[in-house]
């Protein structure tokens, strides 16, 4: 179903079909705000996917001076400490960081750090940005299923995030390590990473640049070609530098560029 929906979302001809699909989608999700988009008319988009992955004007997402900001629009899910190699998918539903990242060594380095989950709704802006300035040292694509990530599924399907397709980017910063993971879901079988655009398009597994790639807070990290969930993880050093003992409230809506409340 997800593959079929993906194909339909990319249809550009006949033009009447593309325009109809965009109009229907916007009608289903009227909270989509085209006033903030770089292209403010539905007729400016060539396909539903083009509409869904729309870019917005930079000035509508100013960056907070805080060193760590929200990497995307959405609503907060679970957040807290990384303890005993696990984090929470939902209250009482843990999952293993090593399985999630498919990298036991990286998971061990994150022990004692903190994590935060942000869910993207269909009406949200679906580009993901770097939460902190640093250097990209690794990226990875992990093949998997496309379970839905609605509240019922997250609360009832054990290891949901570990089972779904996902892509991660590891950032080395002056204060510690930050990992951003983009998690796919039903109708979200395509995740584009700016640093490694071939990952997930016939290529899976780990990738590393020839030399670390410098990025600034707010630079584009990737795009959900139909969207889902972002999980941010930081190590003990970065958590300590940020004073990380204050977790975001579950369900609270946020926007890319706002300060991430991972501090005292």
Catalytic hit among 71, 126, 228, 235 = 228
Other Cβ atoms within 10 Å of 231 Cβ, number = 26
Active site residue 145: no
What's the pLDDT tens digit per position in 61-104?
A: 999 999 999 999 999 999 999 999 999 998 889 999 999 999 99
By the 10 Å C-beta count (0-12 exposed, 13-18 middle, 19+ buried), 128 is classed as buried
What's the pLDDT tens digit per position in 120-154?
A: 999 999 999 999 999 999 999 999 888 888 888 88
pLDDT at residue 264, rounded to an integer: 39
What's the pLDDT tens digit per position in 107-126?
A: 999 999 999 999 999 999 99
pLDDT category at 247 given cuts 50, 70, 90 is: confident
Catalytic hit among 9, 47, 66, 73 = 73
pLDDT at residue 262, rounded to an integer: 61
CA distance 184 to 224: 8
**Residue 1, both tokens:** 């179903």
Active site residue 64: no
The three-class DSSP label of residue 90 is strand
Active site residue 129: yes
Catalytic hit among 129, 130, 133, 168 = 129
């Amino acid at each position: 179903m997800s593959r079929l929906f993906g194909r339909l979302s990319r249809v550009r001809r006949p033009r009447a079909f593309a325009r109809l699909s965009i109009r229907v989608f916007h009608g289903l999700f009227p909270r989509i705000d085209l006033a903030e988009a770089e292209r403010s008319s539905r007729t400016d988009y060539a396909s539903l996917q083009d509409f869904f992955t729309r870019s917005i004007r930079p000035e509508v997402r100013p960056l907070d001076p805080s060193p760590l900001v929200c990497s995307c629009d959405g609503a907060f899910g679970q957040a807290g400490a990384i303890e005993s190699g696990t984090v929470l998918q939902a209250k009482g539903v843990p999952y293993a960081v090593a399985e999630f990242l498919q990298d036991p060594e990286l998971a061990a380095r994150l022990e004692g750090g903190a994590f935060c989950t942000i869910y993207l709704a269909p009406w949200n802006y679906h580009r993901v940005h770097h939460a902190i300035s640093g250097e990209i040292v690794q990226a990875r694509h992990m093949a998997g299923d496309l379970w839905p990530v609605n509240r019922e599924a997250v609360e009832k399907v054990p290891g949901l995030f570990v089972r779904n397709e996902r892509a991660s980017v590891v950032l080395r910063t002056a204060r510690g390590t930050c990992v951003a993971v983009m998690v796919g879901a039903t109708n979200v079988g395509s995740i584009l990473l700016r640093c490694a655009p071939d990952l997930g398009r016939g290529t899976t597994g780990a990738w590393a640049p020839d030399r670390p790639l410098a990025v600034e807070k707010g630079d584009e990290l990737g795009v959900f070609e139909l969207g889902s969930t972002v999980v941010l993880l930081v190590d003990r050093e970065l958590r300590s530098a940020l004073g990380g003992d204050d977790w975001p409230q579950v369900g609270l809506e946020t926007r890319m560029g706002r300060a991430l409340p991972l501090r005292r």
